[in-house]
Amino acid sequence: MKFFSCLFLTLISLLSLAQHATLRYTEEPINLNDQSLLLIPFESKMYLSDVNRDLALANNLNSQQIIERFNAAIDQSILYTFQEKCNVSSFYLLDDQESISDLGYIYQNRKLEYELVSSTEEQTKVDKLKSKFKKKEDNSYQGAKIINGEIVSKRDDRERYMKAVVTNQKLLDSLSEKFSNKYFLFINELDIRNDYSDAIAMQKMEYQREIKIHYSLYHKNGEILSTGISRTNFPASENDINVIIKSYFPILAQYIYDDLFPPVEEKTTNKLGIKKWK
């Protein structure tokens, strides 16, 4: 019995690694317990999807309405998942004009750049030291970034994070003063793609779709602490946006939570700790 318990925990651990990738910029553990966090939604142009037509037809929504639904869903899922551990501030609590003005200021004063996802999720300190020197070589040739509102990059099939880059300290200072927060969680990009890797599943129309959230965590002093990808899959036959949001966005929020909060040593029947919407 003990063997099967260990095997189950191992499988859960592997599942977590498969659904989440993180690049840390600090050797210190990240702990947002009892801290204040400002959640910054992704910009509309950073919604990348090849299933939008299906979603629009099934839900009688246009592209902008779909983006708004997904942005609000990410915000609500993270708020609901994080609320017992830290104080989350949201732009959805402001009136529309104030929110639009503040977000416009943020988007003008932060850049977005791609960062290569490491092929190994766990590295030793020596490996991390080596990667600091190797990263410049790897990233310099692909040089992807946002220029004049467009994603510009050379072709590179390796997986990448979309990372927020804040060089204007006044941005963080002004937001921290307004919202009284110590940390900033930037949602940089939302991807929804068909997974065509399984030819047999494609023939049977039983293939999967992948949802990915790209995010970055900053301290108010301007230090970037973490950037990562949270991902999960859902059936390509599912086009009901309400079902997608309710069933799968809490999973995405939970993987981000697992990156930013230390694990709790306690027994639980819900191994992933996912908080389902009611």
The pLDDT tens digits of the residues spanning 226-261 come to 999 999 999 999 999 999 999 999 999 999 999 898
Look up residue 2 and give its DSSP letter. H
Is there a domain that residue 217 lies in? yes
For strands 183-194 and 145-147, give the pairing.
Answer: unpaired
Is there a domain that residue 241 lies in? yes
Is pTM beyond 0.85? Reply is no
Q: For residue 100, which of 174, 44, 180, 36 has the smallest C-alpha distance?
A: 44
CA dihedral (19, 150, 140, 171) positive or negative: negative
Q: For residue 242, which of 64, 73, 79, 46 has the smallest C-alpha distance?
A: 73
Q: For residue 71, which of 97, 32, 39 has the smallest C-alpha distance?
A: 39
Task: Tell me: pLDDT of 213 over 50.
Answer: yes
Is there a domain that residue 266 lies in? no
Residue 22 confidence (pLDDT): 73
Q: For residue 115, which of 45, 215, 42, 37 has the smallest C-alpha distance?
A: 215
Helix (H, G, I), strand (E, B) or coil at 181: coil
Residue 28 confidence (pLDDT): 76
Residue 115 confidence (pLDDT): 83
Residue 25 confidence (pLDDT): 75
Q: How many CA atoms lie within 13 A of 96 on its CB side?
A: 1
For strands 150-152 and 145-147, give the pairing.
Answer: antiparallel
Out of 87-91, 162-166, 200-204, least confident range? 200-204
What is the rounded average pLDDT for all residues in the chain? 80
Is there a domain that residue 231 lies in? yes
Q: String of b and e for 149-169 (b: at least 16 CB within 10 Å)?
A: eeeeeeeeeeebbbbbbbeee
Q: Each residue of 39-79: pLDDT tens digit?
A: 999 999 999 999 999 999 999 999 999 999 999 999 999 99
Under the banding of pLDDT at 50, 70 and 90, the label for residue 107 is very high
Is there a domain that residue 267 lies in? no
Is there a domain that residue 5 lies in? no
Instruction: Specify which residues 130 forms β-bridges with.
Output: none
The set of residues, in sequence order, having a beta carbon less than 8 Å from that of 22 and lying 6+ positions away, is 121, 226, 227, 228, 229, 259
Task: Tell me: pLDDT of 224 over 50.
Answer: yes
Is there a domain that residue 10 lies in? no
Residue 212 confidence (pLDDT): 96
Cα separation, 132 vs 136, whole angstroms: 7
For strands 87-90 and 36-40, give the pairing.
Answer: parallel
Is there a domain that residue 125 lies in? yes
Under the banding of pLDDT at 50, 70 and 90, the label for residue 203 is confident
Q: Are 9 and 155 in contact (CB under 8 A)?
A: no
Under the banding of pLDDT at 50, 70 and 90, the label for residue 130 is very low
How many domains does the chain fold into?
1
Helix (H, G, I), strand (E, B) or coil at 231: strand
> What domain range includes position 150?
15-260
Q: For residue 23, which of 188, 146, 174 has the smallest C-alpha distance?
A: 188
Task: Tell me: pLDDT of 26 over 90.
Answer: no
